[in-house]
Structure 1
Amino acid sequence: MTSTSVKPQSSPQSLADKASAQLNAKPPSLFSPEFVQETLALSRRLFIQLQRRPSTLIAGIVQPLMWLLLFGALFKNVPQGMFGVSQSYGQFLSAGVIVFTAFSGALNAGLPVMFDREFGFLNRLLVAPLASRFSIVLASAIFITTLSLIQTAAIMGLSYALGAGLPNVLGLGIVVLIVLLLVLGVTALSLGLTFALPGHIELIAVIFVTNLPLLFASTALVPLAFMPTWLQIVASLNPLSFAIEPIRYIYLHSDWTFSSIVMQAPWGNLSLGMTLLLLAGFDAIALVSIQRLLQRKLA
């Protein structure tokens, strides 16, 4: 008769110690190899979805180009000098179309996450052994930022073809930086709304209600001097104007510096450097405002 050895079972105390050790274990830091790998994987998933439905990208490029063509043609015969030092309304409008297109795309950043949430895929991600669940948010931000840069390149290409010209290499870098700053802050707010609102119907309603008022309450279509006093104050506090005016100035002036005055607001003059700081402050406020919400929803 052979004896079989029985493996002693773990005591409840040892199991509790193991569980406590796992809970207290230091999570992988942000931008660790695991975090980068899962962020890239989640970003790749979004780009695969875009590849399967390219109409989203096509529409996102065609629509701002139509705005540039149609509005440029509509105001083609206005007296020269009516829109500042711009040679044409198309040249004046280019900065507004670039910024508003980036803003609209970033405002839609939460929709893919919202659909994942409604269809249950987000719950699967939340129970998966991810290095950090913030990779879900970062992947969406990377996806929207890439689309915004593609749209910006298309708009600038058409503007150049229509005679609006192009900034120098350093100016192009500043334009990209401004677009990235705006996209970062608006994307953060959109993702915050994604986790705060009950469904995609409410999110789409917020997008529709927000888009046009912010467009018309900015300097995208007309300069501040064309507006009544109350609207000048509103437009001069609009983050879209902080992005539009420096891009417009860089387009029109090759000798720009960070101390160049790009907007004469009712409450004071703003330099190029100041608008960049205001956009960075807008990003900081947006990120801080959604931090606790994301921590609670992604915990």
Structure 2
Amino acid sequence: MTTALAHTWYVTQRYSRTAIRQPIWVLSALLQPIIWLVLFGALFKRIVEIPGFGGGSYIGFLTPAIVVMTAMFSAGLCGMTVLADLDTGVIDRMLVSPVRRGAILGGLLVEQAAVVFVQCGIILVLGLVLGARYSGGPLGALVLLVAATALGVGIAGLSNAVALTTRRRESVIGVVQLLLMPLTYLSSAFMKLELVPGWIRDIARVNPVNWAVSGGREALAGNPQWGHVFLNVGLTVAFAVVTTLLGTAAFGAYRRSV
């Protein structure tokens, strides 16, 4: 166990050094979420006046959703890193080294989780600057970041599975575009579920994006229902575990094919 953790840490450091050397790629992933937060917050600020919405500040309602979306879209192309390492022979060289096999993808996921956590923290602070208020305090903010990071790891695991199965960049991009935006709109990201059609509510119940948004948003409330928070965050973590196992299985299939 100690050796596996040490190897995972070494692989994490490798990917972390790449991110540090090219911080523009980490920061550029924040551009779109910032635009969403500023523009959507301004364009739809009067949505809170719709009967049944409950009032409040729309920027406060929107910020947890943008935090979760930041995690999704940042992690969605994680499979591209795997493909780059396949093309350059990095993974093949790792496979003939003493490094534990689980550490190869594990280190990448840990690095991705760290990047997502930092990016989501920046968006959370930006929301505060734009007028959002977090009644749940630091604990609520931390729960939201954990939920978003767990979702990011889940999406990264799925991206890795697609990359290792198809070994084509077009497939990774296609799956990301096909899934992420529809999953966002089929959740409570932009509108309370009580005000959307019933079929969207049904899909939202089994939607990992909605689990992360709902759990994180509730944690930021003044008097959160912790049972609701733990259920939704727990489901998000379970999603991350399942997709990580899928990625691991796809990696095993790749190893057997070389």
Q: What TM-score, normalized by structure 1, do the two folds share?
A: 0.77
How far apart in 2 are the matches of 1:276 and 1:38? 28
Are the aligned partners of 2:154 and 2:241 in contact in 1 as well (CA < 8 Å)?
Answer: yes
1:41 aligns with 2:2: no
Aligned to 2:80: 111
CA contact (8 A) 1:83 1:89 kept: no
Counterpart AA for 2:60 = Q
Match of 2:2 in 1: 31
Alignment match, 1:157: 125
Specify the structure having the higher radius of gyration (Cα): 1
Aligned residues: 255
Alignment partner, residue 280 of structure 1: 237
User: How far is the alpha carbon of 1:242 from its aligned partner?
Assistant: 0.7
Distance in 1 of aligned mates of 2:175 and 2:125: 31
Distance 1:39 1:283 in 2: 18
* Separation in 2, partners of 1:136, 1:255: 42
CA contact (8 A) 1:185 1:282 kept: yes
Residue aligning to 1:95: 64
Match of residue 105 from structure 2: 137
- Provide Cα deviations, 1:207-256, integer angstroms capped at 9, x if missing partner: 122221111111111221332222221122211001101222222x2222
**CA–CA separation in structure 1 for the residues paired with 2:251 and 2:33:** 32
Supply the distance in 2 between the matched residues of 1:36 and 1:246 (Cα, whole angstroms): 30
Match of 2:36 in 1: 67
Q: Following TM superposition, where does structure 1 have runs of at least 4 consecutive aligned residues deviating by more than 6 angstroms?
A: none
| Cα pair distance change 1:217/1:78, threshold 3 Å | closer
Quick one: structure 1 residues 287 and 47, their matched pair in 2 at CA, closer, same or farther if it must change by over 3 Å? Answer: closer
For residues 208 and 248 of structure 1, the distance between their equivalents in structure 2, rounded to whole angstroms, comes to: 25
Residue 250 of structure 2 is aligned to residue 293 of structure 1: yes
Answer yes or no: is the 8 Å Cα contact 1:182–1:243 preserved in 2.
yes
Deviations 1:22-66 (A, max 9, x none): xxxxxxxx332xx34433332222223223322211111232112
CA drift of 1:97 comes to 0.5
Secondary structure of 1:220's aligned partner: coil
Relative contact order, higher structure (CA 8 A, sep 6+): 2
Q: Is there any run of 5+ residues in structure 2 with no aligned partner, and where?
A: none
Distance 1:177 1:107 in 2: 17
* 1:250 aligned onto 2:199: no
Structure 1, 83-92 or 209-218: larger mean CA deviation: 83-92
Letter in 2 for 1:254: G
The answer as to whether partners of 1:81 and 1:87 remain within 8 angstroms in 2 is no
- Are residues 278 and 40 of structure 1, via their aligned partners in 2, closer, same or farther at CA, if it must alter by over 3 Å? closer
TM-score by length of 2: 0.89
CA distance in 1 between partners of 2:51 and 2:104 (Å): 47
* Conserved? CA contact 1:118–1:199, under 8 Å: no
CA displacement at 1:290 relative to structure 2: 3.9
Distance in 2 between the 1:277 and 1:48 partners?
Answer: 31
Distance 1:127 1:209 in 2: 36
Partner of 2:97: 128
Letter of the 2:229 counterpart: L
Q: Structure 1: 5+ residue runs without aligned partners? A: 1-29, 260-270
Tell me the C-alpha RMSD between the 2 structures.
2.2
- Between the two proteins, what is the percent identity of the paired residues? 24
Indicate the residue corresponding to 2:140 in structure 1: 171
Pairs within 5 Å for 1:220-235: 220-235=189-204
Q: Contact between 1:106 and 1:183, CA under 8 Å: does it hold in 2? A: yes
- What secondary structure is seen at the aligned counterpart in 1 of 2:98? coil
Contact 1:91 1:163 (8 Å CA) reproduced: yes
